[in-house]
Structure 1
Amino acid sequence: MEDKKSMYSLRKTIGILGLALPILLLVSHQQLLSSMSHYYYTAGGVFFILILSAFGLILINYGGYPKQEGERFSDRFITTVAGICILITVLVPTKSENPLGTLFFTDTPYLFGHQSNSLLGTIHLLSAAFFFFLLGYMSFYKFVLNHNASASRNRLFKRSGIIVWAAVGTLIIIFAIEKLLNINMDEVFPAYTFWLEWVAVYAFAVAWLVKGKIHLDVEKMMKTFSQEKSLEKH
């Protein structure tokens, strides 16, 4: 029972951190940047590094359920690889040169920052994309294996996975168009990467919160609040 409680807590922590991440980045820097990764070079870098590192450590330590017959990968394997990917995303940040022209605040690179290393930039993008892909996989395939769960709950998990994949797929298509046509889509749709990342992060955050049975905590809190109000009346 204690292991289950711990697993639920880890799931809820991932969900809560996911919901908080884009908001904290915007509030801390108070300026819209090209992507969440670019907040690494701003005051929001503290939140970016801490939350993504927390994602990595939690996912690596997340046990999940044992591999069932017919499954190719265990929960633990998938989350461990996802955790390593997001830690690489932190340790190998995006380049600091202004990808948004006048919209982007160019700061001095610090910690592991760099200005124009294309190899490091590619590693950063691939690790981030694989992280999202694996969390989409967890939602779409792994979270629905509980046959006692309601159909509506499993539909939510499936849709969350699809949304994560759709957001990442859209980014890949846009990046390819930019390369092929030598254009900057940020001039047409400022910070499109940031907004699509927000969609992907919120999709997996909601899935992990629901999988962590956050509704039980809400019900318990409401019940406690109701009881306190009842006592006040007496």
Structure 2
Amino acid sequence: MPSRHHPDLATMIRLRRAIGSIGLGLPVALLIGTMLVDMPMENSISEFFFSPLRDVFIAAAAGVGLFLLAYEGYPARDREWLTDRRVSGIAGASVLVMAAIPAHCTRDTCYQPLAMFDQLITSAVLQSALHMGAAGIFLISLGVMSQNLFTRCTMPQKTRHKQRRNTCYRMFGWMIYAMVALIGVMKLGFSEIGREWDNAWHFTFWAESLALWAFGLSWLMKGEVLHDTLPYFYEAETE
């Protein structure tokens, strides 16, 4: 069935693919950017805010945030709280907060001009807590989507195709949870070791990248990126 007969469905497909592509491409774009502008590698994705690649980081975060805020998903069932709309809204709002309130800059000279909230928030502890808290909520929300929402089925019995997709969704969700837990443990419980790992091989950047790649692949699979026809997508969505 031609896509022009399903404008809303076609828009939802493109939206899912766009979200997934940004998540998958951001770490790669930052890595390529460090080579193009001949700058040192940052220890985390958030620290690229204080680099010449600030625009790349902000554009990706804003794009994902706005897409997630606009994402409708499936209507809520009776007395259902954990819905596509609510979880995607939380994820979208949190990533926008994360982008607006940067991680506290510990360098002698930070990339100018400083962000508004970087100047308004005078407490380094509060700024770091707000940024890290928003980042954590964002990633955990992505894990919930992959684990609990993308695996739902409207058919009485799951097909083999749906079962395989659900296995992948759960793997992506567990990857996101594992990276969030690992970053949290190293930042809060073993901060000295965490700093050593960051200085040695940019541990936080790679852990965040793994979480973003799992997020991106999950949304690309949800957008049926390997299948171009809407009839196939429609059938897959009703599973």
TM bucket (normalised to shorter chain) is 0.7 to 0.9
2:175 equivalent among 160, 163, 166:
163
Q: Deviation of residue 121 (structure 1)? A: 1.1
Q: Which residue of 1 aligns with 2:19?
A: 14
Asked whether 1:135 is paired with 2:142, we answer yes
Match of 2:227, SS state, is: helix
CA contact (8 A) 2:186 2:193 kept: no
Q: Deviation of residue 106 (structure 1)? A: 5.0
Greater CA drift, 83-92 or 66-75: 66-75
CA distance in 2, matches of 1:95, 1:116: 9
2:100 equivalent among 91, 97, 104:
91
Q: Which residue of 2 aligns with 1:82?
A: 91
**Matching residue's letter, 1:39:** F
Asked whether 1:201 is paired with 2:212, we answer yes
Render the CA deviation track for 1:166-207: whole Å, top value 9, x for unaligned: 10011111112235xxx2423245311101000000001000
Asked whether 1:45 is paired with 2:54, we answer yes
Identity over aligned residues, as a percent? 28
Report the aligned-residue RMSD.
Answer: 2.2
**Matching residue's letter, 1:129:** G
Q: Which residue of 1 aligns with 2:227?
A: 216
Asked whether 1:154 is paired with 2:166, we answer yes
CA contact (8 A) 2:13 2:223 kept: yes
* 1:95-106 superposed matches below 5 A: 95-98=104-107
CA distance in 1, matches of 2:34, 2:53: 6
CA contact (8 A) 2:24 2:215 kept: no
Q: Which residue of 1 aligns with 2:77?
A: 68
CA contact (8 A) 2:101 2:131 kept: yes
CA distance in 2, matches of 1:45, 1:195: 18
Q: Deviation of residue 118 (structure 1)? A: 1.7
2:130 equivalent among 123, 145, 150:
123
Q: Which residue of 1 aligns with 2:7?
A: 2
User: Which sections of structure 1, spanning at least 5 residues, go unmatched?
Assistant: 219-234
Q: Deviation of residue 70 (structure 1)? A: 6.1
Q: Which residue of 1 aligns with 2:232?
A: none
CA distance in 1, matches of 2:177, 2:21: 20
User: Which sections of structure 2, spanning at least 5 residues, go unmatched?
Assistant: 1-5, 230-239
Q: Deviation of residue 154 (structure 1)? A: 0.7
The TM-score normalised by the length of structure 1 is 0.83
Match of 1:150, SS state, is: helix
Q: Deviation of residue 111 (structure 1)? A: 2.5
Q: Deviation of residue 71 (structure 1)? A: 3.4
CA distance in 2, matches of 1:72, 1:201: 25
Q: Which residue of 2 aligns with 1:229?
A: none
The TM-score normalised by the length of structure 2 is 0.81
Q: Which residue of 1 aligns with 2:32?
A: 27
Q: Deviation of residue 116 (structure 1)? A: 6.6
Q: Deviation of residue 72 (structure 1)? A: 2.4
Q: Deviation of residue 73 (structure 1)? A: 2.0
Match of 1:63, SS state, is: coil
